[in-house]
């Protein structure tokens, strides 16, 4: 009895508290993934592919002629690289257009200002908007001084912190998204923000403004950092008055497309590993780091994984999303059109963090995925991506799959230079880091191979974590 009691206790303990049998990478998968990393580190076409997109389509805000050129580029490029089932799946997109913009200090003396309309901003009257400046340091500071904002142009002067990942951006971006409506509520006429960026160059950074429903929409623009600093200095001398003109605005709905191509799986072709980047860009630059780099790394990651031996069992699908920057129309259209197929999506990864060196893998899935991912980390180490971080969120576009429980991944990258050029005219092919893009492609490829070859799919995101991603 005693023995049987002890046995029962021991068995019960095992059943209740011991971890499930460790899942690690099958030796054959580990070997092939290791080879993939080695091959990618010897050089990929990622920088060449990214450059080609920027040369062919340049600025490509959803619904623009450049966006149309980008879709054509995507279809041609995936076909030329031997993807199967290449197609452009239409997506309705919000269209916003910048026509012209300018601004200047009026008092204490004339000075031109380098500024740009925030994406989605309404325009000013044609003669411009002229008013005294109320300088504030944050949304909270504005709220505290709301009584003095009426009739003013509110200037948010806070500087973005330079961090290795998204932390600095996360802290700073609220002002860009919500500053206009917050200021409008207090009767302000317009908003200028110090650019959400980490450079000291004379490039204003655009990016989406997020008007609250029911609050008057007022014009919102970003000042280049040197111009914001000057405005702050002038403010120390006395009252400052500025004028700016924005000719821009929404132009209703238009059409774009997600570009999709696949490498069908060898044994389980109906199961899908999804790799994405976004094809669109803001309109000022050529969208090299944001996000031709991600598109190219996804393409190269898929090619490297699909080309390895033994062939992966599952289908590797690359999607170059439409309209990430201004509404995620592409992601929403994909989720809607492929709703029936989402249970067969075993993993989704988006590359949208530039061309900086990879440092690790971020994940969001059921807890049983962890041991396998830990084993994969060792494989990713030669690419510099050995770190493993839970509680990830994928990327903005694949985030729409979270509600369906699709396991989400992203490669963590060194983003310390990313926000120097993010959403500026300076986002060109010269900002790409080719060797880091090879490493990024390596990490994506090895992950993809493992996800597409594992005997069992990763455990899906637990119900409790399938919340909607936060608005950006």
**Three-state SS for 390?**
coil
Residue 265: its H or E element: none
- The answer to the question of residue 434 lying near a copy of itself (CB under 8 A) is no
> Which of 202/472 has CB closer to a copy of itself?
202
Q: Could you tell me if 236 and 108 are in contact, meaning their C-beta atoms sit under 8 angstroms apart?
A: no
Q: Give min distance, CB of 136 to a copy of itself, in A.
A: 21
Q: Give min distance, CB of 230 to a copy of itself, in A.
A: 6
Q: Give min distance, CB of 450 to a copy of itself, in A.
A: 36
Q: Give min distance, CB of 298 to a copy of itself, in A.
A: 23
- The answer to the question of residue 428 lying near a copy of itself (CB under 8 A) is yes
Give the x/- contact pattern for a copy of itself in 226-245, rule: CB under 8 A.
xx-xx--xx-----------
418: number of CA atoms within 13 Å, CB side? 25
Judged by CB under 8 A, the stretch of 48-56, 187-195, 351-359, 397-405 that binds a copy of itself is: 48-56
Give the x/- contact pattern for a copy of itself in 181-220, rule: CB under 8 A.
-------------------xxxx-----------------
Q: Give min distance, CB of 193 to a copy of itself, in A.
A: 17
**The tokens of 156 are what?**
């948010």
- The answer to the question of residue 43 lying near a copy of itself (CB under 8 A) is no
Angle 77-83-86 from CA coordinates, rounded to 5°: 75
Determine whether 8 is exposed, middle or buried from the number of CB atoms within 10 Å of its CB (0-12, 13-18, 19+): exposed
Q: Which of 24, 111, 368, 377 binds a copy of itself (CB under 8 A)?
A: 111
Q: Which of 112, 125, 239, 310 binds a copy of itself (CB under 8 A)?
A: 112
- The answer to the question of residue 58 lying near a copy of itself (CB under 8 A) is yes
Determine whether 463 is exposed, middle or buried from the number of CB atoms within 10 Å of its CB (0-12, 13-18, 19+): exposed
- The answer to the question of residue 84 lying near a copy of itself (CB under 8 A) is no
DSSP label at 327?
T
Q: Could you tell me if 98 and 333 are in contact, meaning their C-beta atoms sit under 8 angstroms apart?
A: no
Strand partners, 133: 153
Measured CA distances, 125 to 128, 172, 419 (Å): 5, 29, 31
> Which of 299/429 has CB closer to a copy of itself?
429
Q: Could you tell me if 306 and 316 are in contact, meaning their C-beta atoms sit under 8 angstroms apart?
A: yes
Judged by CB under 8 A, the stretch of 7-15, 329-337, 380-388, 429-437 that binds a copy of itself is: 429-437
Q: Which of 29, 44, 51, 121 binds a copy of itself (CB under 8 A)?
A: 51
**The tokens of 272 are what?**
């899908």
- The answer to the question of residue 378 lying near a copy of itself (CB under 8 A) is no
- The answer to the question of residue 65 lying near a copy of itself (CB under 8 A) is yes
**Three-state SS for 276?**
strand
Between helix 293-306 and helix 27-41 the angle, nearest 10°, is 130
Q: Give min distance, CB of 228 to a copy of itself, in A.
A: 10
Give the x/- contact pattern for a copy of itself in 290-319, rule: CB under 8 A.
------------------------------
Q: Could you tell me if 382 and 321 are in contact, meaning their C-beta atoms sit under 8 angstroms apart?
A: no
For residues 352-380, one letter each, b for 16 or more C-beta atoms within 10 angstroms of the residue's C-beta and e for the rest, the string is: bbbbbbbbbbbbbbeeebbbbbebbeebb
Binding-site ranges for a copy of itself (CB under 8 A): 51, 54-56, 58-59, 65, 69, 109-112, 114, 200-203, 225-227, 229-230, 233-234, 285-286, 424-426, 428-431
């Amino acid at each position: 009895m005693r023995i049987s009691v002890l046995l029962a206790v021991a068995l019960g303990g095992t059943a209740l508290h011991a971890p499930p049998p460790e899942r690690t990478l099958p030796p054959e998968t580990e070997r092939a993934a290791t080879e993939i990393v080695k091959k990618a580190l010897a050089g990929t076409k990622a920088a060449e592919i990214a450059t080609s997109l920027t040369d062919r389509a340049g600025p490509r805000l959803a619904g623009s002629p450049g966006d149309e050129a980008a879709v054509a580029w995507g279809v041609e490029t995936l076909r030329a690289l031997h993807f199967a089932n290449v197609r452009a799946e239409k997506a309705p997109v919000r269209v916003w257009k910048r026509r012209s913009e300018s601004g200047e200090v009026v008092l204490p003396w004339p000075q031109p200002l380098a500024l740009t309309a925030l994406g989605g901003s309404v325009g000013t009257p044609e003669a411009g908007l002229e008013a005294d400046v109320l300088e504030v340091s944050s949304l909270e500071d504005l709220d505290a001084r709301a009584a003095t904002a009426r009739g003013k142009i509110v200037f948010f002067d806070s500087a973005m912190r330079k961090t290795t990942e998204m932390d600095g951006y996360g802290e700073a971006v609220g002002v860009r998204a919500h500053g206009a409506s917050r200021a409008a509520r207090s009767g302000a006429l317009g908003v200028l923000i110090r650019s959400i960026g980490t450079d000291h160059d004379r490039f204003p950074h655009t990016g989406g403004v997020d008007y609250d429903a029911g609050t008057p929409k007022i014009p919102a623009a970003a000042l280049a950092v040197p111009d914001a600093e000057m405005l702050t200095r002038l403010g120390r001398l006395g009252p400052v008055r500025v004028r700016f003109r924005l000719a821009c605005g929404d132009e209703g709905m238009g059409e774009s497309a997600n570009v999709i191509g696949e490498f069908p799986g060898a044994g389980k072709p109906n199961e899908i590993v999804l790799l994405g980047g976004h094809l669109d860009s803001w309109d000022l630059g050529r969208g090299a780091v944001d996000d031709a780099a991600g598109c190219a790394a996804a393409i190269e990651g898929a090619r490297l994984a699909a080309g390895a031996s033994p062939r992966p069992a599952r289908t590797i699908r690359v999607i170059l999303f439409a309209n990430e920057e201004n509404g995620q129309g592409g992601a929403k259209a994909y989720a809607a059109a492929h709703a029936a197929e989402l249970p067969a999506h075993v993993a989704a990864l988006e590359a949208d963090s530039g061309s900086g060196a990879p440092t690790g893998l971020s994940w969001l899935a059921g807890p049983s995925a962890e041991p396998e991912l830990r084993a994969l980390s060792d494989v990713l180490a030669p690419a510099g991506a050995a770190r493993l971080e839970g509680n990830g969120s994928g990327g903005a576009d694949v985030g729409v799959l979270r509600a369906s429980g699709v396991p989400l991944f992203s490669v963590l990258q060194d983003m310390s230079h990313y926000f120097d050029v993010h959403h500026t005219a300076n986002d060109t092919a010269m900002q790409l880091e080719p060797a880091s893009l090879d490493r990024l492609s390596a990490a994506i490829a090895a992950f993809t191979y493992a996800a597409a070859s594992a005997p069992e799919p990763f455990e899906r995101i637990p119900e409790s974590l399938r919340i909607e991603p936060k608005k950006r």
